[in-house]
Amino acid sequence: MSMKQVYLTIDAHARNCVMGSMNTRGEFLKSWRFKTCEKELIKHVEDINARKKILAVEEGPLAFWIAQTLRPYVEELVVSDPRETPLISRNAMKRDKLDVRNLCRLLRLGELKQVYHPEEDHRAIFKAAVQQYIDFRNQETAIKLKIKAKYRSWGVPDVEGTCVYNPEKKDEYLKKVKSLVIRNQLERLYSLLNTALKMQALSLKEAKKLSQRYPEIKEFLKVPGVGIIGSLIFMTIELTHHTFHGLDQKHFHWTTRCKLSP
């Protein structure tokens, strides 16, 4: 017999997924496991005999792909923030079948906090480009800290400022380290730093190119003190394209300044 509405949840892993289902009365129907692939995901959602299917999946490495795959086969799809569901994330008894049961209940009660995922592929690609730039920038910072820590631990404490990263000053600092092995280790760290900087520049160039299709970026750049990098990051992480719908320029500038204020 066909159900009017059903709540579905997926606990996704690289090899297998566990799906759970619950009816509108809060009765957990069943959970089952299947292989993680596009064909199996679609098959198991389509096999559910219900007129309206509401699906939830927790945010994670597979969440965007699953959402894009299954969105056409459900009436509503929620990507939830696992940090806001302590019933699951902090449960000492971590079991997939128990997790999907709890997730079904929270979905039915409307207690899941949704994470924004762009429905259009081009926005997801743009977001991935900006995130890669951020990753390389974070790697640059981490490598620089390692370089300074290495010098200090081998008797070269005077490494304040940015001179220690300057290619023209590098040999001057390396000579202060007595051990050849440690100097070689520092050379490798410098090589990693150069690579991170090159990759950072390439990823930023790509993100800038992709951003040209979005009028929101131009609006960001009109705000005093906001540059291209801040615009890319703020748009990607903090806002969705729906935020700008219906905003006039004056209201946009006021709203953005408020969000950028510490």
Grade residue 224 by pLDDT with cuts at 50, 70 and 90.
confident
Same domain, 98 and 32: yes
Last residue of a domain, one of 109, 135, 170: 109
pLDDT at position 241 is 43
Same domain, 25 and 77: yes
Last residue of a domain, one of 85, 109, 133: 109
Same domain, 100 and 9: yes
Residue at 114 is within a domain: no
Grade residue 81 by pLDDT with cuts at 50, 70 and 90.
confident
Residue at 158 is within a domain: yes
Same domain, 144 and 174: yes
Answer whether residue 150 shows pLDDT above 90. yes
Question: What is the CATH number for 12?
Answer: 3.30.420.40
With contact defined as beta carbons under 8 Å apart, do 203 and 239 qualify?
no
Same domain, 203 and 221: no
Question: Tens digits of per-residue pLDDT, 96-131?
Answer: 788 899 999 999 999 998 876 666 678 888 888 999
More confident position, 145 or 2: 145
Q: Which of 26-35, 92-101, 240-249 has the highest mean pLDDT?
A: 26-35
Environment class of 144 (CB within 10 Å of its CB; exposed 0-12, middle 13-18, buried 19+): middle
Same domain, 194 and 260: no
Same domain, 74 and 153: no
Distance CA 102, CA 89 (A): 11
Residue linked to tokens 């920038």: 137
Residue at 115 is within a domain: no
More confident position, 81 or 177: 177
Residue at 233 is within a domain: yes
With contact defined as beta carbons under 8 Å apart, do 151 and 160 qualify?
no
* Tokens representing residue 230 in the block: 């801040």
Kindly tell me the sign of the dihedral angle through the C-alpha atoms of 125, 126, 128, 129: positive
Mean pLDDT of the region 76-91: 75
SS (H, E, C) the chain: CCEEEEEEEEEECCCEEEEEEEECCCCEEEEEEEECCHHHHHHHHHCCCEEEEEEEEECCCCHHHHHHHHHHHCCEEEEECHHHCHHHHCCCCCCHHHHHHHHHHHHHHCCCCECCCCCCHHHHHHHHHHHHHHHHHHHHHHHHHHHHHHHHHCCCCCCCCCHHHCCCCHHHHHCCCCCHHHHHHHHHHHHHHHHHHHHHHHHHHHHHHHHCCCHHHHHHHCCCCCCHHHHHHHHHHHCCHHHHCCCCHHHHHHHHHHHHCC
Query: Average pLDDT of the chain?
Result: 85
Residue at 140 is within a domain: yes
User: Pairing between strand 76-80 and 50-58?
Assistant: parallel
Same domain, 261 and 242: yes
Domain encompassing residue 143: 121-208
Same domain, 101 and 137: no
Backbone angles phi, psi at 55, to 5 degrees: -120, 140
Residue at 184 is within a domain: yes
Answer whether residue 137 shows pLDDT above 70. yes
Answer whether residue 154 shows pLDDT above 90. yes
Last residue of a domain, one of 80, 109, 138: 109
Answer whether residue 247 shows pLDDT above 50. no
Same domain, 7 and 89: yes
More confident position, 251 or 208: 208
More confident position, 6 or 60: 6
Same domain, 202 and 224: no
Residue at 151 is within a domain: yes
Same domain, 26 and 58: yes
Residue at 116 is within a domain: no
As a whole number of Å, the CA-based R_g of the chain is 25
pLDDT at position 258 is 42
Distance CA 87, CA 235 (A): 31
Domain count of the fold of the chain: 3
